[in-house]
Amino acid sequence: MPTSRLRAAVLTAFVLLSSLVAGCTDDDSGDEDLTAQELHWKDCPAPSQAEGGGSAPSPLPDGDAWQCATMKAPLNWDDPKGDTLGIALIRAKASGDPGRRIGSLLFNFGGPGGSGVTTLPAFGEDYAALRTRYDLVSFDPRGVGRSDGVRCENDQQLDAYFQQDMTPDDAAERTTLLDNTKEFNAACEKNSEKVLPHVRTTDAARDMDLMRQVLGDAKMHYFGISYGTELGGVYAHLFPRTVGRAVFDAVVDPTQTSEQGALGQARGFQRALDNYAEDCTSKTEDCPVGDTPADVKNRIARLLAQLDAQPLPGVFPRELTQSAATNGIAQALYSQDFWEYLTEGLEQAYDGDGRTLMLLSDSMNGRSENGEYSNLVPANIAINCADDRARYSPAYVEGRLPAFRAASPLFGDFLAWGMVSCTDWAVPGAADHPDVSAPGSAPILVVGNTGDPATPYEGARKMVDALGAGVGVELTYKGQGHGAYDSKNQCVQAAVNGYLLDGKVPAAGTVCS
C-alpha cells in the first residue's frame, strides 16, 4: 500500500545490521567498479527486527536453500565514487533445465517499505512455475530492512504514536496530531539523517540496474506489485533499452499527486468495503454483522464513533482506538481471504473485545506479537516524502475534508489527515508524480484488479497511457483484493506465466474473471 496513502502498508529498537549486511560506510569506494563486484551468496539468516523478525526461511519444496547476499551501491548516485551502502538480496536459483534458464526475475512487493528479503520466501511456492526458468530474486530497497533501514522512534514511542487520534475533531486534537507527527519526523532526521536524502524511487531504480549487471543479466526481467509498479515504471523510464519481460500487478496511478492518490484510495477502500458488505449479506446464512449492506456499514460507522469517545480493550495494555480500528478494517480489505477475519473482528468489537481488529492494525503497522516493529512505517514515510513534492498544511487538509468524506464516509478523514505526514519532513520531495514514460521499452504487462482497494483499478489504464505507445499492455482481472496474480486466478496466472516464461504477450484488453 503506498503510504499516506494509508499511513503504512503489509510488514524500535531497530537492530539494523548483522554480519549479512554492511550499512552506510564512510570508506571512499575510489575507482572501484561496482558493476564488477562479486556477490557472496550464503544461507539466509533469520530476518532482522527491521525486516519484521521471525525465523530463517525454510528450504524450498525441492530442498534447495534460499540464499542471501549483499550488494554494494553508491549512497549518493550523483557521487558514485563516494560512500556506499549495502543492499540486501535473496534468491532461489532456477529449478529447471539450465539450458532453458532465462536469467533473474526481480521482485518488488510494494509498500514502499516492504522487505523483499522476507516477503519472497513467504510467497515462494506461488512462483514455482516461474522458477523453472528464472532465478527468483528480491531485495530490501535502500532505507528498508537490512538495506540501511530508516530508523525513527523506538517501539514504545511507536505504540503511543499509533494510539493517537489520527482524525482530529477539534483544535486540541489537531495540535496533538501535528505535534506528534513533527516529533516522529524529527526522530527520523536525528537517527537516519545520512540516508534520508537518498531513498527516492529513482535511487532504488538505479540500484536495480546495478543489480541487473552484478547478477549478470543483459535485460531486467521484473515482477512489480503495488508500489513495485511505480518503481518498475521509473526503472523503465530511466533504462528503457534494458527492460526485458516485465509485469506490473496492482498498479499505482503514476499521473496522480499524493493528494489525488490518497483520494483515490479513499474511493478504493470504500468500494472494497461496499463489496465486503454485499458479499456478507448476500450469503444464504445470516450475516453476523448486519442485515443489509447499508446496515453493515452503518454499524461500522457507529462503532467507530463510539471508539472515538471510548476505546475498547485491545491487545493488553493497549486499547482499540478509532484510528486503530479504521486501520485494522483497511488491512482486512486487502484480500478477500481476510474478510472472515474482518467479520470476526467486528463481531468481537460489538461485544466489547477489540483484540482481532487491533491485531489487524498491528499487521498493517509492522508490529509483531512481541511488541517489536519492523521499519515498514518509517521507510514508507521516508520514501514517499522524498518522492512527493507536495507539503500540505493543516488548513489545506481541513478544506479538503468534504471531498474525502464524499469519496468515503469511513476512510475519508483518515486518509486526508495522513497527508500531513510530510509537512515537517527534513528532505524536500522530488516531483509531483513519477515520470514513467518509456519509449523504446519492451512490452510491459499491466494487470489491474477491478476490486483493488489500495491501488484502484483505474490506475492500470493511466499507467498504460503514461508508459507510452507500444509499451503497456493492459489485462483486467474482475476480482477482489489487492493484486491479481496471487489470487490464484488461472486466467491471470496463465497470461502472466505465458509472457514471463515464453514471451507470449496477451492481447491488449484481455479480461479475466
Question: What amino acid positions are annotated as catalytic residues?
Answer: 226, 452, 482
Is 420 within 8 Å of 397 (Cβ atoms)? yes
Q: Is the dihedral of CA 456, 457, 462, 464 positive or negative?
A: positive
Q: How many residues does the chain have?
A: 513
- 220 three-class SS: strand
Distances (CA, A) of 122 to 116, 241, 261: 10, 32, 28
Closest C-alpha among 501, 432, 506 to residue 476: 506
Closest C-alpha among 92, 103, 95, 123 to residue 11: 123
Q: Is the dihedral of CA 228, 232, 234, 238 positive or negative?
A: positive
Is 377 within 8 Å of 318 (Cβ atoms)? no
**CA 365 remoteness from chain centre:** 11
- 283 three-class SS: coil
Residue 28 CA to residue 81 CA, distance in Å, equals 7
Q: 205-237 in b/e burial notation, b at 16+ Cβ within 10 A? A: bbbbebbbbbbebebbbbbbbbbbbbbbbbbbb
Residue 404 CA to residue 373 CA, distance in Å, equals 30
Q: Which residue has the cell 535511487?
A: 203
Element of type H or E holding 387: helix 376-387
Residue 88 CA to residue 241 CA, distance in Å, equals 26
Closest C-alpha among 408, 440, 479 to residue 249: 479
Closest C-alpha among 78, 84, 68 to residue 20: 68
